[in-house]
Structure formats: structure tokens, C-alpha cells
């Protein structure tokens, strides 16, 4: 039998694809990676990294205002959109180079081009055919535009980082974390923001207390939050975009952001020709070990229907590579995955929502605290913090931990370790807090709410 050209051929050089390629190469595998665009995928180029950088930028306006309460006398600050874009582009370019060096230093072959499956372990890139014992599809996803009259006048989140002009009036359509983050970012940068949410509250799937609390805080941030609302059409009149809602209301905007969903990048991969099963939304069907319906072809990350977070995709990549080349077979545990939403204030959460905990465990105890952070006793800002614990009444185990407040992501990451280790409420109670911090509230809540 003719030996394959590679032991692993990775389609897509996003975070997961690069991690899989590097780790497989370290195990001695012959690895190739095909990527037609910038290395790093969505997260590095138009997702997590630039979004967090812009979230930092959006927070400075509040910091400048808060400083006055602490004795700082500042001139009126002026924001320059072009400077932010230029500095972001330089940093992303630096990260692109790091990802390329990581691949090449590991011994992987980087092929610039769009790959297509040919079947039988064969892959074609730019007219060149090669074979591999294993093929990994890690092509990520893309934002989708809803079928809406005039929808072509709107943009997706990919375009928000490099808009030619700063949008002084921004309409954001959507209630998910991407919509909430961009609404919060641009409100912080000085835009007049209207957010249109189809449901009763933003962040569907999060704890209901978190959703309601964040909605109030977004409104305190001067975001015009339109709940139970939907756009009917978008029209352009000169340089002005007019968004008509189904209730007849009309909004004027410089930019309209559609943040209403994402789909996997599976078109044009030759999945049907290779016999790889997909569902109706183009999601690749895999088993618990990330094997597709075709032996030797694997998929992970945003092209499969699991948890669409970069750290999850990285963990999936490590799990697959360990099985294929490291002699260790295990399944990835998707329980207790922490996540954050980088709004102002931020959201951090790990474990079950209160509704999920009641559905799965029956009797639960809920501990909830809402307060003004120490910083704002002098800043005068009308911003509050929410912390919540959901505890199994039978075992005393903490099932869920939720926060809305400054540095929520940083705080919840540490507590996620405790929940993963099975910490009980008694463990929390026995832990001495760091004073004065907001985080200590999680270990000082003693009385459950009614």
C-alpha cells in the first residue's frame, strides 16, 4: 500500500486547527495545514481578541468620568477611531505572524489555499492533490445575514473593527453575546446605540437573573434597548440608514449591525463527494471522539454542534490529537465550562442556571447579592454588581455561579476551578475572602433567598 503524503491534514488554521497541527507534529506526525486567509481564524482576526481590545477602549470613557470622584482633574478626552483601528491591525498582524511561526517551528507544512475533500483520504488544494491518513476539518464559522428587505445595507460583526467612519448612530440587531458586546463597546466609545432584541431579554440561555440585571445595566449605559422588537426592513436615504421595526417605529443610523447568528464554514469543502454527513444547517455530524461518518475524517470547533467557544475548540483539538497520535483515548467533558460576555459591566458564568438546576436536581438553594462596588461610592457611577450561587439542596454542591460586574471574567475563571473540583457551599463558607474585593462576596453569602 502506498504511504500517504501526511499523517494529518488540517483544513483551517484557526485556533483549533493550529493547536491540533502543532501537537500532532510534536508527536512525530507528518502534518500539513491548509488555510487561504489570515492565520488564527475568527478568534484572532475578527472575534475574541480584537473584540476584547475594543472592549478595553470602550471602558476608558467611564474611567475618565470616574476619575473625577477620586480627585483627578482631566481635560475633556477625545477619541480617535483611526488610531484604534491602526493599533488593532498592527497587533493582529503580529499575532498572525506568531501563529505561522508556531506551525513552522513545530515542523508542520503550511499550504496557502482552500482545500477540498476528494474522498479516499485525498485532499486537493489549488490544483495539487495530496493524501493523508487523517483529515481534520476545523474551518470555523461565519456570521449570517437574515433574509430581510434591505439587509444588504447592514454589516456583520466582521466589519465592525474596520468601519471607514465611526458610527455615531449605531443600530444593533440581536440579543446574543456578540450583539450585547458590540452595543456596549460602541456606547462606551461615544456612539448613540439602539439594540433590537426579539426576545423578552438579551442573552438567551443565560441565567434569568443575569439577563434581567444586564438589561438594566445596558440601559444605564445609555443604550436604547428595544425588547420584543424586530426589524422589518432597512432603507438607505443618502448617507442615512432607516430601520423600520415591525411595530412601525423608525430608527436612523449610520451603521446597522446584524448579529443574529452564525453558520459553519462547510460550503465548498466537498463533504458530499467524500460522504461526510451534515445536518440541515451545514453542521458536520460527529461522534463523541470527533469522528465523522467517514473513517479517517474528523471535525471539531464551530463546524460541529457543541459549544462554540475558542477554549472548547482547543480542548477538542487536544483530545483528538491525544487519541490519534498520543495513545490516549478519552471524551471531552462539556459540563462546567466557564464563559464571559465583555459588556460594561461584564458577565461571567459557570455551571447551571437556576432553571437548569431546578430541572435537573429538583430542590436547590439560591444565594444572591446585589450591591454597589466600592469604587463607585466615590465615582458616583450608578453601576451595580450582581453575584449568584445555585446550590444542590441534597448534596450542598455548588451547581452554578454567576456574576455581572467589573472583571467578572477574571473572577469567575478562578471559581470555575472550584466548581470543576466539586466544591460545596460549605467549602465556599470555609474560604476566607480577600478584603476589600467584589470577589469575596462569593464566599460570604450565608442566607439563601426565598
Which grid coordinates are listed for 257? 449591525
Is residue 435 part of the annotated active site? The answer reads: yes
Q: Give the residue from 196, 202, 194 showing the smallest Cα distance to 170.
A: 194
DSSP SS3 for 32:
strand
43 burial type by CB count under 10 A (0-12 exposed, 13-18 middle, 19+ buried):
buried
The CA distances from residue 414 to 210, 318, 321, 409, 418, in Å, are 19, 22, 27, 9, 7
Among the listed residues 220, 298, 361, 435, the single catalytic one is 435
Backbone angles phi, psi at 226, to 5 degrees: -100, 105
Contacts of 325 (CB under 8 A, 6+ apart): 7, 8, 23, 24, 27, 28, 29
Q: What angle do CA 138, 140, 144 make, to 5 degrees?
A: 155
CB atoms within 10 A of CB 432: 8
What sign has the CA pseudo-torsion 246, 249, 252, 253? negative
| Spatial separation of the C-alpha atoms in residues 203 and 209, rounded to whole Å | 11
| Spatial separation of the C-alpha atoms in residues 207 and 226, rounded to whole Å | 20
β-bridge pairing 169-173 and 255-258: parallel
- Residue length, the chain? 450
Give the catalytic positions in this structure.
435
Amino acid at each position: 500500500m502506498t504511504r500517504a503524503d501526511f499523517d494529518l491534514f488540517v483544513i483551517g488554521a484557526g485556533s483549533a486547527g493550529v493547536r491540533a497541527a502543532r501537537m500532532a507534529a510534536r508527536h512525530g506526525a507528518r502534518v500539513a495545514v491548509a488555510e487561504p486567509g489570515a492565520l488564527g481564524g475568527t478568534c484572532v482576526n475578527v472575534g475574541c481578541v480584537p473584540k476584547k481590545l475594543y472592549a478595553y477602549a470602550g471602558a476608558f470613557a467611564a474611567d475618565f468620568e470616574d476619575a473625577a470622584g477620586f480627585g483627578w482633574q482631566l481635560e475633556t478626552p477625545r477619541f480617535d477611531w483611526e488610531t484604534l483601528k491602526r493599533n488593532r491591525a498592527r497587533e493582529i498582524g503580529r499575532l498572525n505572524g506568531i501563529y505561522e511561526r508556531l506551525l513552522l517551528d513545530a515542523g508542520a507544512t503550511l499550504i496557502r489555499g482552500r482545500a477540498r475533500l476528494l474522498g479516499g483520504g485525498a485532499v486537493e488544494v489549488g490544483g495539487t492533490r495530496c493524501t493523508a491518513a487523517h483529515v481534520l476539518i476545523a474551518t470555523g464559522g461565519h456570521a449570517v445575514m437574515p433574509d430581510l428587505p434591505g439587509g444588504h445595507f447592514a454589516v456583520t460583526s466582521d466589519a465592525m473593527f474596520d468601519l471607514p467612519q465611526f458610527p455615531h448612530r449605531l443600530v444593533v440587531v440581536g440579543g446574543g453575546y456578540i450583539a450585547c458586546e458590540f452595543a456596549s463597546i460602541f456606547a462606551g466609545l461615544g456612539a448613540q446605540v439602539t439594540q433590537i432584541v426579539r426576545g423578552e431579554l438579551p442573552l438567551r440561555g443565560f441565567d434569568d437573573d443575569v439577563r434581567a440585571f444586564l438589561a438594566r445595566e445596558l440601559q444605564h449605559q445609555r443604550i436604547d434597548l428595544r425588547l420584543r422588537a424586530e426589524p422589518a426592513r432597512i432603507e438607505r436615504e443618502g448617507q442615512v440608514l432607516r430601520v423600520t421595526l415591525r411595530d412601525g417605529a423608525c430608527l436612523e443610523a449610520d451603521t446597522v449591525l446584524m448579529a443574529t447568528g452564525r453558520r459553519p464554514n462547510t460550503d465548498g469543502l466537498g463533504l458530499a463527494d467524500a460522504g461526510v454527513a451534515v445536518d440541515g444547517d451545514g453542521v458536520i455530524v460527529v461522534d463523541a471522539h470527533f469522528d465523522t461518518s467517514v473513517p479517517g475524517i474528523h471535525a471539531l470547533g464551530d463546524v460541529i454542534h457543541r459549544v462554540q467557544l475558542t477554549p472548547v475548540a482547543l480542548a477538542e483539538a487536544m483530545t483528538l490529537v491525544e487519541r490519534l497520535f498520543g495513545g490516549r483515548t478519552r471524551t471531552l467533558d462539556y459540563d462546567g465550562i466557564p464563559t464571559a460576555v465583555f459588556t460594561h459591566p461584564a458577565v461571567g458564568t459557570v455551571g447551571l442556571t437556576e432553571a437548569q438546576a431546578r430541572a435537573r436536581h429538583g430542590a436547590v438553594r439560591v444565594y444572591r447579592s446585589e450591591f454597589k462596588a466600592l469604587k463607585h461610592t466615590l465615582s458616583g457611577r450608578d453601576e451595580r454588581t450582581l453575584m449568584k450561587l445555585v446550590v444542590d439542596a441534597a448534596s450542598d454542591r455548588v451547581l452554578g455561579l454567576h456574576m455581572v460586574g467589573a472583571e467578572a471574567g477574571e473572577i469567575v475563571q478562578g471559581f470555575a476551578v472550584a466548581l470543576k473540583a466539586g466544591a460545596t457551599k460549605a467549602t465556599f463558607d470555609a474560604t476566607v475572602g480577600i478584603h476589600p474585593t467584589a470577589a469575596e462576596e462569593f464566599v460570604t453569602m450565608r442566607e439563601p433567598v426565598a
